[in-house]
């Protein structure tokens, strides 16, 4: 028994010596960039202590460092022995673009209801309206048209008519009740129905409405009974021709207008 313990003690000592030696020092640090977190930006944020090894590297600290950039939601840290450390920032998923017309700003909102960052409201697009990041687009869009193109680029929903008193701060949670209600609709609508939505107007919680790609306005009201409201709208669109306006603030007592067809 004593011999076994002695061997274990020796192994522990050897392990400690190896771990703290230079045999596995992270001398090859590879940082993968992303769309909004460049390799250069990441290098500036990460503070690895001198002599860090693959054994004592602290992934939590690296994550904390990189999360100073509001686009970063998490970090993947991989070790490749003997000396390589691969660090990959993971970006927040953009679920909405809030266009604040008073400041001509388009703010990206993450799927954790966090204000990420303002985006340029002057974008280059190709002939199909797709955002071109190389600066070689055939057209330039500005203002709300640029915000709409950005929403399409991110697979997000455009929120319009955002109150001028909404003051986003990168990395902070959305606090505006109207914007949060708009986000409730973004999450509550089915993906099929969201595909028909051009934008969601969020001037106040009670006055939320959606503009569909076919030009129909849907008055939604507060973010209660979202599934029922979608069901009513979908049914009307499939059964009634020439619909131009639908009010489902009270889905059990909805109203609509249509243009009679001859």
Q: Global pTM? A: 0.87
Evaluate if residue 7 carries a pLDDT over 50. Answer: no
The residue among 106, 75, 101 whose CA lies nearest residue 164 is: 101
Evaluate if residue 3 carries a pLDDT over 80. Answer: no
- 3-state class of 7 per DSSP? helix
Which domains are delineated in the chain? 22-91 (3.10.20.310), 94-258 (3.40.50)
Q: How confident is the model at residue 5 (pLDDT cuts 50, 70, 90)?
A: low
Evaluate if residue 224 carries a pLDDT over 50. Answer: yes
Residues 6 or more apart whose CB falls under 8 angstroms from that of 238 comprise none
Q: What is the mean pLDDT of the chain?
A: 90
Higher pLDDT, 31 or 11: 31
Per-residue pLDDT reduced to its tens digit, 128-178: 888 987 767 679 999 999 999 999 999 999 999 999 999 999 999 999 999
Kindly state the tokens that stand for 134. Answer: 């190389």
The residue among 161, 194, 155 whose CA lies nearest residue 179 is: 161
Evaluate if residue 89 carries a pLDDT over 90. Answer: yes
The residue among 228, 185, 231 whose CA lies nearest residue 208 is: 185
Tally of CB atoms within 10 A around 213: 10
- 3-state class of 181 per DSSP? helix
Query: What's phi and psi for 207, nearest 5 deg?
Result: -110, 25
Evaluate if residue 261 carries a pLDDT over 80. Answer: no
Site of tokens 């009670």: 206
Rounded to whole angstroms, the Cα distance separating 174 from 182 reads 11
Looking at residue 81, what DSSP letter applies? T
Per-residue pLDDT reduced to its tens digit, 26-60: 889 999 888 899 989 998 999 998 888 999 999 99
């Amino acid at each position: 028994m004593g011999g076994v313990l002695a061997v274990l003690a020796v192994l522990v000592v050897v392990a400690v010596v190896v771990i703290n030696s230079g045999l596995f020092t992270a001398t090859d640090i590879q940082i993968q960039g992303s769309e909004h977190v460049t390799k250069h930006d990441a290098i500036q944020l990460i503070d690895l202590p001198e002599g860090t090894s693959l054994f004592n590297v602290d992934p939590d600290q690296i994550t904390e460092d990189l999360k100073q950039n509001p686009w970063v939601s998490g970090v993947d840290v991989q070790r490749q022995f003997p000396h390589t450390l691969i660090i990959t920032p993971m970006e927040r998923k953009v679920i909405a673009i809030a266009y604040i017309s008073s400041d001509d700003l388009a703010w990206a909102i993450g799927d954790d209801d966090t204000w990420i960052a303002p985006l340029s409201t002057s974008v280059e697009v190709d002939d199909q309206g797709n955002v071109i990041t190389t600066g070689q687009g055939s057209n330039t869009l500005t203002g709300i048209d640029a915000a709409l193109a950005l929403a399409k680029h991110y697979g997000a929903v455009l929120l319009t008519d955002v109150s001028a008193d909404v003051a986003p701060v990168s990395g902070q949670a959305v606090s505006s009740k109207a914007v949060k209600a708009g986000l409730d609709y973004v999450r509550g609508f089915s993906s099929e129905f969201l595909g028909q939505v051009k934008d969601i107007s969020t001037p106040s919680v009670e006055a939320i409405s959606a503009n569909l790609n076919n030009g129909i306005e849907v008055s939604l009201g507060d973010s209660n009974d979202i599934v029922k409201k979608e069901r009513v709208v979908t049914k009307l669109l499939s059964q009634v021709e020439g619909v131009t306006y639908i009010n489902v603030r009270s889905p059990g007592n909805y109203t609509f207008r249509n243009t009679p067809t001859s």
